[in-house]
């Protein structure tokens, strides 16, 4: 009879407590699927006295994460403390060096130290599993690492942050401003008191760096990701997107190009007909474009205690089965360097919103500057305020002009708009949003 897998858990917050509960309530199913039992034998957390709603009788309480990581009585160390540095980093390193397997949901740790940790797992023979780090219950890590091991990947992109998707959904459906939606998201617990990590795109960038490594065999490098957030998005952008057949999402995109792997996070117009456009609220989604197969879209809850714990327990079950996949899909020696692709080289369609001054020659000046950069316009929409009626005070009011371009290069768009601003035929700064086709 095979001995049960003995698990130690560091961190007993919402996710950690739910992992303990799942292992207890699903014990028979897990044993049947894994070929052996799974038992939580030791834990550690900041407070022993805190009520967590799970039965920890018979479970050893260890004084700190390092002591748990090197505990001779555990086979698998589960890190649920979070953070890119200590104590998570030192504890995971210690567990791997001791030959133990590690399961973590810590995207920040993997984005910064993933290569070093994968090398330690490779050297000492333990598993390093992190399905919950990207998309929580969405099995995108396993899909890229194992399910599509024989498929060349051309592009992986998705909605990787529920906070941003919730805000953009509310802005679209209710016509609210970014500030109004953010305040409500904070009230409901979807956004942190300091939301910049989410709304400025950095959370998505960490997750994208992990996905790009799995998809393209690159070394994990968050510094190689171009990042823009959603704070500049206005209700009029969402209305225009709707009128033009698009929906606005914050996407993380990693794509193979002739110049290398392009990794970028930014607000993006996606066709309403696309699968990813249908994903609303706090839900996450990832689309994978592989050679010889139609695009695959995985949709599900990207955060939350139950969803994250589900992925953590699935990783623990893989350890119990004896599965030892390369953490990033290939041996560390075969992962190659990647550099930050200059966005000036990006090629695609663009949404451009200008506030054009209502003077003779304005339209001609804009058209001339675009033509100089060989930018072709797919559509143009001009929205006269007050239905085109003359303003009561007799002063000219800037006219919103919305342009959709055919595929062009970003540096051409930037040069054209800089020239338009120098011509003083528009008010304020142009709004530029990239378009991602199916």
Is 207 labeled as catalytic in the residue annotation?
yes
Lowest mean pLDDT among 2-16, 83-97, 384-398: 384-398
For residue 69, the model assigns a pLDDT of: 97
Give the CATH number of the domain where residue 208 resides.
3.30.360.10
pLDDT score for 383: 67
Is the domain of 28 the same as that of 56?
A: yes
Round the CA-based radius of gyration of the chain to a whole number and report it: 25
What is the reported pLDDT for 391?
Answer: 53
Based on the fold, state whether residues 144 and 238 are members of the same structural domain.
yes
Question: How many Cα atoms sit within 13 Å of 171 on the Cβ side?
Answer: 29
In a domain, 246, yes or no: yes
Total structural domains within the chain: 3
Would residue 333 count as lying in a domain?
Answer: no
- One domain for residues 195 and 252: yes
CB 42 within 8 A of CB 68: yes
Report d(CA 335, CA 338) in Å as an integer.
9
Query: Token pair of 172, please?
Result: 């679209």
CA distance 123 to 97: 8
Full residue range of the structural domain in which residue 42 is found: 5-137+322-327
Of 267, 301, 335, the residue that ends a domain is 301
CATH number at residue 19: 3.40.50.720
Pairing of the two strands 426-435 and 347-356: antiparallel
Q: Residue 1 has what pLDDT?
A: 64
Residue 348 domain-assigned (yes or no) = yes
Mean predicted lDDT score pLDDT of the chain: 92
- Residue-level pLDDT at 385: 57
Give the 3-state DSSP-derived string for 199-224, with helices as H, strands as E and coil as C. HCCHHHHHHHHHHHHHHHCECCCHHH
Q: Are strands 296-301 and 347-356 parallel, antiparallel or unpaired?
A: unpaired
Catalytic-labelled residue, pool 6, 207, 374, 437: 207
Residue listed under structure tokens 């390092």: 66
What does the H/E/C string look like for 62-121?
Answer: CCCHHHHHCCCCCCEEEECCCCCCCCHHHHHHHHHHCCCEEEECCHHHHHHHHHHHHHHH
pLDDT for position 192? 80
Q: Do 40 and 131 sit in the same domain of this protein? A: yes
- The verdict on 75 and 26 lying in the same domain is yes
* pLDDT at 396 > cutoff 80: no
Same domain, 96 and 125: yes
pLDDT at 405: 95
Based on the fold, state whether residues 169 and 292 are members of the same structural domain. Answer: yes
* Residue 280: pLDDT band with limits 50, 70, 90: very high
**Which range has the worst mean pLDDT, 231-240, 245-254, 307-316, 339-348?**
339-348
**230 SS3 class:** coil
Same-domain status, 46 and 149: no
Does residue 308 belong to any structural domain of this protein?
no
- Under the banding of pLDDT at 50, 70 and 90, the label for residue 55 is confident
Residues 77-105 have a mean pLDDT of: 97
CA distance 291 to 381: 37
Strand-pair category, 260-271 with 377-382 = unpaired
Q: Is residue 310 part of a domain?
A: no
- Alpha carbon distance 142, 128 (integer Å): 12
Residues 137-176, buried b or exposed e (16+ Cβ, 10 A)?
bbbbbbbbbeebeeeebbbbbbbbbbbbbbbbbbbbeeeb
Helix/strand/coil for 317: helix
Q: Are residues 109 and 237 in the same domain?
A: no
Report, as an integer, the average pLDDT of 39-68. 93
* CATH number of the domain residue 393 falls in: 3.30.70.260
Same structural domain for residues 280 and 396?
Answer: no
113-122: buried (b, 16+ CB within 10 Å) or exposed (e) per residue? bbbebbbbbb
In a domain, 336, yes or no: no
SS3 content of the chain, % helix, strand, coil (to 5): 40, 25, 35
Residues counted in the chain: 438
Do 132 and 36 belong together in one domain? yes
| 120 and 155 within one domain | no
Q: Could you report the per-residue pLDDT of 158-204, keeping only the tens digit for each? A: 999 999 999 999 999 999 999 999 998 888 888 888 899 999 999 99
| Residue 28, phi then psi, degrees to nearest 5 | -65, -45
Output the pLDDT for position 387. 54
Examine residue 283 and state whether it is found in any structural domain, yes or no.
Answer: yes
Kindly report, residue by residue over 300-312, the tens digit of the pLDDT. 988 888 999 999 9
- Residues with Cβ within 8 Å of 86's Cβ and at least 6 positions away in sequence, in order, are none
| 384 — pLDDT class (breaks 50, 70, 90) | low
Q: What is the pLDDT of residues 340-358, one digit of tens each?
A: 888 888 999 999 999 998 8
Domain membership flag for residue 311:
no
Tokens matching residue 302: 């990207």
């Amino acid at each position: 009879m095979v001995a049960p897998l003995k698990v130690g858990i560091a961190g007993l917050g919402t996710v950690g407590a739910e992992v303990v509960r799942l292992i207890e309530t699903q014990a028979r199913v897990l044993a049947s699927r894994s070929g052996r039992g799974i038992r939580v034998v030791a834990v550690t957390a900041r407070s022993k006295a805190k009520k967590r709603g799970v039965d920890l009788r018979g479970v050893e309480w260890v004084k700190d994460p390092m002591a748990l990581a090197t505990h001779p009585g555990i086979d698998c160390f589960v890190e649920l403390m979070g953070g890119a540095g200590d104590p998570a980093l030192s504890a995971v390193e210690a567990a791997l060096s001791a030959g133990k397997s590690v399961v973590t949901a810590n995207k920040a740790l993997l984005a910064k130290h993933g290569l070093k940790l994968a090398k330690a797992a490779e050297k000492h023979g333990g598993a390093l599993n992190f399905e919950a780090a990207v998309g929580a219950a969405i099995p995108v890590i396993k899909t890229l690492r194992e399910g599509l091991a024989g498929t060349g990947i051309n592009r992986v992109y998705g909605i990787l942050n529920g906070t941003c998707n919730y805000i953009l959904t509310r802005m679209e459906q209710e016509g609210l401003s970014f500030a109004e939606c953010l305040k409500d998201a904070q009230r409901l617990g979807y956004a942190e008191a300091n939301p910049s990590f989410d709304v400025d795109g950095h959370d998505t960038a960490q997750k994208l760096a992990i996905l790009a490594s799995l998809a393209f065999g690159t070394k994990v490098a968050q510094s190689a990701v171009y990042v823009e957030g959603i704070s500049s998005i206005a209700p009029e952008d969402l209305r225009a997107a709707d009128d033009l057949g698009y929906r606005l999402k914050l996407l993380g995109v990693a794509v193979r190009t002739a110049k290398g792997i392009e990794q970028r996070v930014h607000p993006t117009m996606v066709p309403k007909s696309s699968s990813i456009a249908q994903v609303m609220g706090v839900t996450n989604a990832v689309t994978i474009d592989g050679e010889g197969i139609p695009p695959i879209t995985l949709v599900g809850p990207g955060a939350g205690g139950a969803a994250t714990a589900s992925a953590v327990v699935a990783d623990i079950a893989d350890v119990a089965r004896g599965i030892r996949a390369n953490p990033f899909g290939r041996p560390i020696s075969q992962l190659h360097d990647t550099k930050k692709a200059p966005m000036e080289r990006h090629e695609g369609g663009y949404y451009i919103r200008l506030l054009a001054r209502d003077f003779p020659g304005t339209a001609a000046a804009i058209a001339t500057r675009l033509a100089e950069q060989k930018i072709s316009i797919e559509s143009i929409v001009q929205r006269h305020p007050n239905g085109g009626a003359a303003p009561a005070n007799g002063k000219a009011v800037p006219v919103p002009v919305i342009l959709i371009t055919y595929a062009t290069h970003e540096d051409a768009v930037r040069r054209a708009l800089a020239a338009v601003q120098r011509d003083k035929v528009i008010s304020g700064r142009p709004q530029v949003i990239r378009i991602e086709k199916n």
